[in-house]
DNA sequence: TTGTATGCGTTATCAA
DNA sequence: TTGATAACGCATACAA
């Protein structure tokens, strides 16, 4: 494998000149540049990124820690991140945090100098970083999830407003008993979206009923569970608002199994706007999150942060997508 | 940021001893080890991976180039790769090749010393590597795709046998006119699976009809297109075998739009065994590929290759999953 | 415009 | 068992 030394030898210049030619071509003379460029081709020289990074003290790599790579919601976000990263000469290391300890492993890469910054995708702040909250955190952006404790730079949509809009739409169509399937645990998304749901109810004087709220995982099984629960109620809801399309898919499936027809007997509203929603039966009414754009903006935000600029929150627009799973009561 | 020097100073030893303590603790005396370990904690020292890699001339990083990260088929494979990688102290860089030039960019990482090996996931051999086919390729494994030209180490299922099995199942249920939705272009998977399809027909003396073969992208739109095409035929098929579940989803959707009920009027068979298949309407009969295991084995194979061991092909078992989208003719 | 020399942080060799 | 030293490949300060 050729090094700069080989190139320098062939071009009859010093390695310093080779380096300059590659980094700042306008700082060397025309003839030297051509000679070096020729030598680079002839030797098949490729730069050793390790050495360059060590010297420059930067890696031009960012880590994306995603809560579950298998969740289709994230794949397009990752695509957006990747697009923006490559366009700016960054590399993306992808960490799946669905396994124990992975968030820790991946967030440490910043400290072992394998990455310059960190993106958390639906992942709470990992423990080792939590300890440093007060002192100095590495460049870091959270996407699609708000850290409840402290204020960390975040990119996402206005979840409260979006949930309110979704609920309002159901109310407008005559629904008063609206089931709500949230995420699990102390997920900040749950809090925001639940608040929007409550606000919509309150604005129309519909009493809030704790029985109509159920926490489930963001996947079809979670939706199935929720549907079974709602069905067991003395007075089941006439509409269900899921905090994720993946849950809505499970609701649709389970409703079918129970012989409940959607949207005739039950309206189902999703959240996220996954492509698969257009292929569900019935097609899924939902809130669209601009996922690719979310990814791009997240990466931009991180690059700002890595440049030392103050990272600010970014709120992107959402959109109510009306399809076939919601109907008049 | 603390370096070995800081640790050495605090522990009153040389940096060489610090290095030894970290790499080969049994090679230093008990007391030194304890002193060094203490100093590591006190300084908050983290190793600089760049420097280590430069010195050791290895990165412990592998690149996974995936044809489209948005295709759910790959996400579990990636998960398997990641599991095996982390378990063996490797890092995974993920490259999405759905954009122009990306396969080139990512495969070059091996040459710029940012990765030790390469996994191609549904991606043909990138150009820069094709040029070196005869000479020395870097450690490389292809997953779920066979390189037609040359023999490269590959991990996957027996696509021919699996397709044959799927087709035989349809034939057994009385179907004679079986549509086949393949992948696009000169995809090697298309060739293998089409061959299995043909073999099954031939074994039962069903004549092969070119009209019943249609090439489409591995996504729902591809399936929709195919369904429309089959519907336009003078004598449409009574069953459709899709080379991907994602296509089958589009077929199901389009059939619904056309008022064709599945499986009563039309049987639909998928391929891959994606989780979503259990939530389709009707639930999808399909061929299960052991995706996580495929990922693990692929990574194992690559690690063999990086150790200099001869990489051998690996064939993993598939399974026919009978659900609700296929019925007797 | 170019070359010399030095250092980035680590590890391997060699000698003590 | 330990330390001094050199080297991995590159980029920069400084001198020429």
Instruction: Write out pLDDT tens, residues B231-283.
Output: 999 999 999 999 999 999 999 999 999 999 999 999 999 999 999 999 999 99
Nearest neighbour of A94 by CB, restricted to B94, B105, B112: B94
Whether residue B325 is contained in a domain is answered as no
Measure the CA–CA gap between A252 and A324, rounded to whole angstroms.
Answer: 12
Whether residue A320 is contained in a domain is answered as no
Output A146 or B267, whichever has higher pLDDT: B267
Chain A residues close to B79, C-beta within 8 Å: 69-70, 96, 98
Banded pLDDT at B134 (limits 50, 70, 90):
low
Q: Confirm if B241 and B214 have CB atoms less than 8 A apart.
A: no
Banded pLDDT at B121 (limits 50, 70, 90):
very high
Banded pLDDT at B186 (limits 50, 70, 90):
confident
Whether residue A8 is contained in a domain is answered as yes
Which residue, counting CA atoms, is nearest to the C1' of nucleotide D7?
B55
CB < 7 A contacts with chain C (nucleic strand) = A 12-17, 20, 27-29, 31-32, 51, 54-55, 57; B 1, 3-5, 15-16, 18-19, 22-23, 45, 47-48, 51-52, 54-56
Chain B residues close to A278, C-beta within 8 Å: 220, 253
> Is the model's pLDDT at A1 over the cut of 70?
yes
> Is the model's pLDDT at A132 over the cut of 80?
no
Average pLDDT, chain A: 94
Q: For an interface test with B, which of A50, A135, A242 has the most B Cβ atoms less than 10 Å from its Cβ?
A: A50
Q: Which nucleotide is closest to A24, CA to C1'?
A: D11
Q: Do A79 and B70 touch (CB under 8 A)?
A: yes
Banded pLDDT at B151 (limits 50, 70, 90):
confident
Banded pLDDT at B149 (limits 50, 70, 90):
low
| pTM, entire model | 0.93
Q: Are residues B212 and B262 in the same domain?
A: yes
Measure the CA–CA gap between B22 and B32, rounded to whole angstroms.
Answer: 12
> Is the model's pLDDT at B86 over the cut of 80?
yes
User: Average pLDDT, stretch B206-222?
Assistant: 97
Q: Are residues B124 and B178 in the same domain?
A: no
Q: Say which residue the tokens 């935000």 belong to.
A: A301
Banded pLDDT at B155 (limits 50, 70, 90):
very high
Percent of chain A whose predicted confidence (pLDDT) is above 70: 98
Nearest neighbour of B54 by CB, restricted to A46, A51, A83: A51
Q: Are residues A281 and A163 in the same domain?
A: yes
Per-residue pLDDT tens for A18-61? 999 999 999 999 999 999 999 999 999 999 999 999 999 999 99
Burial of B147 (0-12, 13-18, 19+ CB in 10 A): middle
Q: Are residues B93 and B173 in the same domain?
A: no
Give the total number of structural domains in chain A.
Answer: 3
> Is the model's pLDDT at A149 over the cut of 70?
no
> Is the model's pLDDT at A146 over the cut of 80?
no
User: Average pLDDT, stretch B75-100?
Assistant: 93
Q: Are residues A146 and A72 in the same domain?
A: yes
Strand partners, A241: A180, A269
Residue A296 has φ and ψ, to the nearest 5°, of: -60, -50
Percent of chain B whose predicted confidence (pLDDT) is above 90: 86
Banded pLDDT at A150 (limits 50, 70, 90):
low
Q: Are residues B152 and B223 in the same domain?
A: no
Banded pLDDT at B194 (limits 50, 70, 90):
very high
Burial of A323 (0-12, 13-18, 19+ CB in 10 A): middle
Q: Are residues A39 and A85 in the same domain?
A: no
Banded pLDDT at A187 (limits 50, 70, 90):
confident
Burial of B214 (0-12, 13-18, 19+ CB in 10 A): middle
Q: Print the domain residue range for B194.
A: 159-290
Measure the CA–CA gap between A27 and B84, rounded to whole angstroms.
Answer: 47
Q: What was the pLDDT predicted at B312?
A: 84
* Distance of B326 CA from C3 C1′ (whole Å): 76
Q: Are residues A12 and A89 in the same domain?
A: no
Give the 3-state secondary structure of B154-183. EEEECHHHHHHHHHHHHHHCCCCCEEEEEC
Measure the CA–CA gap between A148 and A151, rounded to whole angstroms.
Answer: 8
Chain A residues close to B92, C-beta within 8 Å: 93-94
Q: Are residues B174 and B257 in the same domain?
A: yes
Output B98 or B179, whichever has higher pLDDT: B179
Q: Do B79 and A96 touch (CB under 8 A)?
A: yes
Q: Are residues B295 and B152 in the same domain?
A: yes
Q: Are residues A16 and A69 in the same domain?
A: no
User: Average pLDDT, stretch B9-23?
Assistant: 97
What CATH number did the domain enclosing A138 receive? 3.40.50.2300
Q: Confirm if A167 and A196 have CB atoms less than 8 A apart.
A: yes
Q: Tokens for B91? A: 């890092």
User: Average pLDDT, stretch A303-310?
Assistant: 93
Nearest neighbour of B112 by CB, restricted to A47, A96, A250: A47
Least confident of A93-107, B12-26, B125-139: B125-139
Q: For an interface test with A, which of B3, B59, B73, B91 has the most A Cβ atoms less than 10 Å from its Cβ?
A: B91
Q: Tokens for B61? A: 């990083």
> Is the model's pLDDT at B221 over the cut of 80?
yes
> Is the model's pLDDT at A174 over the cut of 70?
yes
Average pLDDT, chain B: 94
Contacts of A85 (CB under 8 A, 6+ apart): A62, A91, A92, A299
Chain B residues close to A1, C-beta within 8 Å: 111
Whether residue A282 is contained in a domain is answered as yes
Whether residue B204 is contained in a domain is answered as yes
Tell me the shortest Cα–Cα distance from B42 to chain A, in angstroms. 15
> Is the model's pLDDT at A280 over the cut of 70?
yes
């Amino acid at each position: 494998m050729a090094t700069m030394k080989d190139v320098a030898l062939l071009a009859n210049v010093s390695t310093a000149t080779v380096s300059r030619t590659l980094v700042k071509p306008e700082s060397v003379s025309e003839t030297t540049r051509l000679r070096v460029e020729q030598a680079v081709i002839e030797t098949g020289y490729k730069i050793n990124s390790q050495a360059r990074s060590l010297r420059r003290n930067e890696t031009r790599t960012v880590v994306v820690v995603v809560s579950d790579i298998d969740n289709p919601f994230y794949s397009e976000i990752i695509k957006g991140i990747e697009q923006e990263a490559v366009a700016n000469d960054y590399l993306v290391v992808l960490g799946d945090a669905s396994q124990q300890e992975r968030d820790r492993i991946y967030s440490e890469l910043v400290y072992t100098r394998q990455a310059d910054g960190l993106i958390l995708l639906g992942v709470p702040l990992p423990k080792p970083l939590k300890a440093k909250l007060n002192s100095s955190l590495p460049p870091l952006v959270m996407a699609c999830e708000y850290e409840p404790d402290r204020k960390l730079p975040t990119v996402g949509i206005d979840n409260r407003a979006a949930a309110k809009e979704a609920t309002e739409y159901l109310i407008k169509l005559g629904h008063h008993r609206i089931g709500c399937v949230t995420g699990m645990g102390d997920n900040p998304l749950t809090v925001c979206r639940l608040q929007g749901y409550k606000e919509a109810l309150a604005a129309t004087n519909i009493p809030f009923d704790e029985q109509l709220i159920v926490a489930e995982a963001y996947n079809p099984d979670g939706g199935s569970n929720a549907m079974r629960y709602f069905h067991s109620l003395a007075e089941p809801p006439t509409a269900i608002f899921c905090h994720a399309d993946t849950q809505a898919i499970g609701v649709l499936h389970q409703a079918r199994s129970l012989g409940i027809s959607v949207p005739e007997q039950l309206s189902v509203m999703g959240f996220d706007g996954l492509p698969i929603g257009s292929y569900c039966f019935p097609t899924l009414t939902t809130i669209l999150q601009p996922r690719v754009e979310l990814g791009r903006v997240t990466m931009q935000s991180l690059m700002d942060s890595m440049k030392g600029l103050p990272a600010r929150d970014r709120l992107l627009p959402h959109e109510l997508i009306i399809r076939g799973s919601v109907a008049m009561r």
